[in-house]
Amino acid sequence: IESVSNRITHLVTVDNDSIDLPYTKCLAAIWSRTEATALKRALIKIINLADSNPKWELKAVNYVHDEINVEFNLGYAEIVLTTVNNII
């Protein structure tokens, strides 16, 4: 079973004519890797956004699972929140 990044997440075992496929574990592994990849891609875009707009004082301060927390200059709240939300 392969994830979206083409890595094998679980090997399927074949014993005689019986196939052991840990379906839920395969799905969980694929989802976890997909989620991690999406989070890393979003972080890169947020860092680039911060570099392009220094007056926003944008920083990614924490991230876990499917959540990214940012800090920024409140004077730019509307544009920062909209832009970061569209990235995530």
- Of the candidates 76, 38, 70, the one whose C-alpha atom is nearest the C-alpha of residue 56 is 76
pLDDT at 36: 84
pTM of the model: 0.67
Q: Which distant-in-sequence residues (6+ apart) come within 8 Å of 57 by Cβ? A: 71, 72, 73
pLDDT at 63: 87
pLDDT tens, per residue, the chain with 88 residues: 455 566 655 556 666 766 666 667 667 777 777 888 888 999 999 999 999 999 999 999 998 877 899 999 999 999 999 999 999 8
CA-CA distance, 72 to 30, in Å (whole number)?
Answer: 33
pLDDT at 58: 96
